[in-house]
């Protein structure tokens, strides 16, 4: 599971330890000579690259170690005095929101995020509020893999989420989730069945309570006319 260090990447590092070893005439992101048109970075683009680099680092992303290191070494540069360039494609794949989202999800499943440093991303710290361990059954929170299933249909996801609204524990546990497929929700079949059964008998009790004004009881209470 540990993906923090990728030795191949470390060995391939083409830069010396000299942190200024960045060629500003080349694409900042790939540092490669190519015929592809280089776009001059806008200040907005640079801010975006900076914040993405920080977030990728925080999420232990291993895809761009050199880029992140380079950006680190120049993060305080005077933007107005330096002209940064990059390929449009390099910029878009580095900053692609869907890839970041995948990293965030991965982080969420591998360890509860404890990152609260420099208020970087609201979303990152918001997900850490939930202590749900997504490798466990969402109902019993055990890691027993026997009979463990992954939520794989939107219908099931919706059903669980809508039932969960009426169950305090489940409501808290699933509070910031609106798609259990995306969240990689896992469950034991027997836990699901139990959850649904409790849910529907609670519904029945509530209906009975509302109707008769009696407190809930599973015994047969004869009605006296």
What is the contact surface with Zn ion in residues (CB under 5 A)? Answer: 27, 29-30, 87, 90, 137, 139-140, 188, 191
Min CB(137)–Zn ion separation in Å: 3
163-178 exposure pattern, b = at least 16 Cβ within 10 A, e = fewer = bbeebeebeebbeebe
Q: Give the nearer residue to Zn ion in terms of CB position, either 104 or 159.
A: 159
Q: Give the nearer residue to Zn ion in terms of CB position, either 107 or 185.
A: 185
Q: Give the nearer residue to Zn ion in terms of CB position, either 30 or 124.
A: 30
Measured distance CA(57)–CA(68) in Å, rounded = 7
Q: Give the nearer residue to Zn ion in terms of CB position, either 144 or 203.
A: 144
- Please, what is the Cα angle at 82 between 30 and 80, to 5 degrees? 130
Q: Cα-flanking dihedrals φ and ψ of residue 74, to 5°?
A: -120, 15
In 3-state terms, what secondary structure has residue 188? strand
Q: Give the nearer residue to Zn ion in terms of CB position, either 30 or 180.
A: 30
Min CB(181)–Zn ion separation in Å: 18
Measured distance CA(6)–CA(13) in Å, rounded = 11
Min CB(95)–Zn ion separation in Å: 13
Min CB(82)–Zn ion separation in Å: 17
Q: How far is CA 169 from CA 16, 72, 88, 138, 141, in A?
A: 53, 42, 47, 10, 11
Min CB(2)–Zn ion separation in Å: 26
Min CB(26)–Zn ion separation in Å: 8
Q: Do residues 3 and 109 lie in contact, with contact meaning Cβ atoms separated by under 8 Å?
A: no
Measured distance CA(209)–CA(8) in Å, rounded = 65
Q: Give the nearer residue to Zn ion in terms of CB position, either 22 or 27.
A: 27
């Amino acid at each position: 599971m540990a993906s923090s260090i990728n030795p191949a990447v470390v060995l391939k590092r083409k830069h010396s330890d000299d942190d200024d070893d960045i060629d500003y005439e080349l694409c900042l992101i790939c540092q490669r000579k190519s015929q592809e048109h280089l776009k001059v970075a806008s200040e907005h683009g640079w801010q975006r690259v900076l914040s993405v680099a920080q977030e990728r680092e925080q999420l232990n992303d291993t895809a761009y170690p050199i880029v992140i290191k380079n950006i680190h070494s120049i993060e305080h540069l005077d933007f107005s005095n330096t002209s940064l360039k990059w390929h449009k494609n390099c910029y878009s794949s580095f900053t692609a929101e869907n890839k970041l989202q995948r990293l965030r999800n991965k982080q969420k499943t591998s360890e509860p995020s404890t990152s609260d440093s420099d208020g970087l991303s609201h979303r990152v710290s918001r997900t850490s509020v939930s202590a749900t361990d997504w490798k466990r059954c969402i109902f019993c929170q055990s890691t027993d893999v026997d009979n463990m299933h992954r939520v794989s249909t939107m219908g099931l996801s919706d059903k669980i989420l809508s039932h969960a609204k009426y169950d305090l524990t489940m409501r808290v546990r699933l509070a910031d989730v609106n798609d259990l497929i995306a969240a990689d929700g896992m469950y034991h079949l027997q836990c699901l069945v139990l959850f649904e059964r409790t849910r529907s008998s609670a519904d029945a009790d509530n209906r009975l309570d509302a109707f008769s004004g009696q407190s809930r009881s599973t015994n047969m209470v004869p009605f006296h006319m």
